[in-house]
Chain A
Amino acid sequence: MSALERLSAEVRRAAPELSEAAQARQRARFVSATTRARSAGTAARWLAAALVVGLLIGGGFVGVRGWRTASTAAVEVPASSERWWSRVEQRTLERVSDRGELTLEPSSAAHLVHDGQRVDVVLERGEVASQVVPKRGTQWGVRAGAYLVQAVGTRFSVQYEPAQELLLVRVNEGSVQVSGGQLGVSSVRLQVGEALTVVGSRVSIERSAPSPGEPASANELAEQPRIEPDEPSPAPLGSDELSRPRGATVSPEANAPEPTWLELQASGEYARALEQAKRLGFEQLVGSLPCGELGELADAARLARDAVRAERALLQLRARCGASPSGLRAAFLLGRLSDEQSPGQAASWYEKYLAEAPGDRFTEQALGRLISAEQRAGHADRAKSAAVRYLHVYPSGGYAELARSLVQP
């Protein structure tokens, strides 16, 4: 090998790998540019950009004024935005907030759905910027495909391009919680200055201005799996007696009622959510909540590190809602709960999950964890058998190295 070849080999070793986050950024930029190229053209786009279809309310007068469109709405609305803000939808918005601004970028499409005191913008494509302050007892968010961006008195924007499998969430004020889609069982809490990018299967979070002493990192939170409700809550969240702590008023005239455990859970305050649930009667809730909310309660207990209550809720979830996705995934989460303390028990939960929900989105994790759990439980043969199964399906998966170490002598 010549000196130049040696030097070049050293340069290749010194060259850094392009991070997944950097690739996600490049991909989003390229895809976004090609999308723009296909749209009506630059001039039309700039004209359309002048259009801000929004809802504005002068703040300070509770429930007196209604939402109205922004004054710039005089510009012709692009065809793709015609569905925006009917009178019914304006009234719907009044349920969650009496002030704020909601801006839909040109060529976007969205509509509103409401369920009790919960209102969501369903973003079909494009970008929406939200500066909405929800009323107490109401929940507000943006649904983009399989993702839910839950707002907690905040200013943020969501861009969603289903054709490009692109989701961008930026937080300018307050915080949001993002779940669903590629996040799997995880939910991510984003703080001010943070941006979540999901492009295809790549997920990254970037922080524009990291500040010392900030709350738990999104990574840490993301490592905590979370159950999403199978369907929207059938009961209005703000008026649901089961979610309201005893002694707290539900009267709209009352001053600042305490947030419900579901609200606390949605905003990532798991310990407080669990405390609230305990005040209401944890056992009573476990026995009476609908499946989706029971999953939320199990999450609150798990993420608040209360393994006993988490197990209780998850077992109940399996007993009452066994056939639902939440019920099936409860087996996986029960495995996770006992993984460290009793790997043998964890292994049997993983096996249950794999048998009951083959092809579910945590199959790979369950199979990978099964290898590790059997190994730690001292079941070498079973660990090897799980490793063979794993490699057969996921030859380059996250646990492939561990599996190969068991399969290859």
Chain B
Amino acid sequence: MALTPTSRLLRPAAGAPLQVLTWEGSDAELLELLHRQAPQAAAKLYDRFSRDVNRVVFHLTGPDSEHDDLVQDTFLRVFRNIGQVREASKLSSWVVSVAVNVVLSELKRRKLRRWLLAEKTKTDVTDDYGHDHEARQLLRSVFGVLDAMPANERTVFALRYLDERTMNDVAELTCVSLPTAKRSLAKAERRFEALGARICPGLIERFRAASPEAGR
């Protein structure tokens, strides 16, 4: 997620935020604007879903120098393929599924590149991610472990745990059946723990110790 330290939000008066005149139209109205390519449709699309898309992209990739590119790619694909969506009630989940697909393709592409070119990916945790050393260290550790996981397992794990999706959502977003999604998650959990113990010893134990389940 690109956070520029020099970026500042401008406020017109001390303590008073800029007056936000958000568009209050429904998803059905937005879909209608998108279908007829109304001039402001793209802006409204971004305004409606930027939070969701940014959040899911961050949870799937972590601090990543290409975060903005992935968000951009997601919105462009949504914009270009909006004709596929006929029911406004499905717009929101479809946008998130596009984001998941964009990230999944990127993760697979990186995996291949890593394998072919012996390229190393690095989790990009800079000062942009806050000055809390512990928080940065945690992000680096967790996404370092996730980087070592297969793309599909990583995605299922991130959607279930980091994005707090239900298993039904996870299955739908990754286009698999519910039992398959559950099996993938179980595999992903085992792999995360194993890789965590190897790459970042003590990471999971720290939270296990704090868990009330530990004493059972």
In the assembled complex, B22 has its CB within 8 A of some CB on chain A:
yes
Q: Which residues of A contact B213 (CB under 8 A)?
A: 1-3
Of chain A, the residue at the smallest CB distance from B45 is: A30
Q: Are A34 and B72 interface neighbours, CB within 8 A?
A: no
In the assembled complex, A23 has its CB within 8 A of some CB on chain B:
yes
Distance, CA A202 to CA B15, complexed state (A): 16
Contact of B68 among A20, A26, A219, A397 (CB under 8 A): A26
* B interface footprint on A1-20 (CB within 8 Å = 1, 0 otherwise): 11111111011111110111
Of chain B, the residue at the smallest CB distance from A188 is: B10
Interface residues of B in 8-34 (CB under 8 A from A): 8-22
* A interface footprint on B49-69 (CB within 8 Å = 1, 0 otherwise): 011001000110000000010
Q: Which residues of A contact B172 (CB under 8 A)?
A: none
Distance to closest chain A CB from B60 (angstroms): 12
Of chain A, the residue at the smallest CB distance from B42 is: A34
Q: Are A12 and B76 interface neighbours, CB within 8 A?
A: no
Count chain A CB atoms within 10 A of each CB in B9, B10, B128 and give the residue with the most: B10
Contacts A199-B43, A206-B6 hold; do A33 and B19 have CB atoms under 8 A apart? no
Q: Are B46 and A30 interface neighbours, CB within 8 A?
A: yes
Q: Are B43 and A27 interface neighbours, CB within 8 A?
A: yes
Distance, CA A334 to CA B110, complexed state (A): 60
Q: Are A33 and B13 interface neighbours, CB within 8 A?
A: no
In the assembled complex, A39 has its CB within 8 A of some CB on chain B:
no
* B interface footprint on A157-191 (CB within 8 Å = 1, 0 otherwise): 00000011110000000000000001111101000
Q: Are B10 and A201 interface neighbours, CB within 8 A?
A: no
Contact of B1 among A16, A210, A336 (CB under 8 A): A16
Q: Are A33 and B72 interface neighbours, CB within 8 A?
A: yes
Q: Are A34 and B76 interface neighbours, CB within 8 A?
A: yes
Q: Are A19 and B192 interface neighbours, CB within 8 A?
A: no
Q: Which residues of A contact B68 (CB under 8 A)?
A: 22, 25-26, 29
* A interface footprint on B70-111 (CB within 8 Å = 1, 0 otherwise): 011001100110000000000000000000000000000000
Q: Are B11 and A222 interface neighbours, CB within 8 A?
A: yes
In the assembled complex, B139 has its CB within 8 A of some CB on chain A:
yes
Of chain A, the residue at the smallest CB distance from B14 is: A223
Q: Are A26 and B71 interface neighbours, CB within 8 A?
A: yes
Q: Are B46 and A31 interface neighbours, CB within 8 A?
A: yes
Q: Are A34 and B138 interface neighbours, CB within 8 A?
A: no
Distance, CA A203 to CA B36, complexed state (A): 28
Distance to closest chain A CB from B89 (angstroms): 24
Q: Which residues of A contact B207 (CB under 8 A)?
A: 3-4, 6-7, 10
Interface residues of B in 149-187 (CB under 8 A from A): 161-162, 164
Distance to closest chain B CB from A367 (angstroms): 11
Between-chain CB contacts (< 8 Å), 10 pairs: A1-B213, A3-B211, A11-B162, A16-B130, A22-B3, A23-B50, A165-B43, A184-B18, A186-B12, A205-B8
- What residues make up the interface of B, taking CB atoms closer than 8 Å to A? 1-4, 6-22, 37, 39-40, 42-43, 46-47, 50-51, 54, 58-59, 68, 71-72, 75-76, 79-80, 128-130, 132, 134-136, 138-139, 142, 161-162, 164, 189, 192, 203-204, 207-208, 210-214
Given A15-B59, A26-B54, A365-B16, 19 additional A-B pairs, CB 8 A: A1-B213, A4-B161, A4-B207, A6-B210, A11-B138, A11-B142, A13-B135, A14-B130, A14-B136, A15-B1, A23-B54, A25-B2, A27-B47, A31-B42, A34-B76, A165-B40, A204-B9, A222-B11, A361-B19
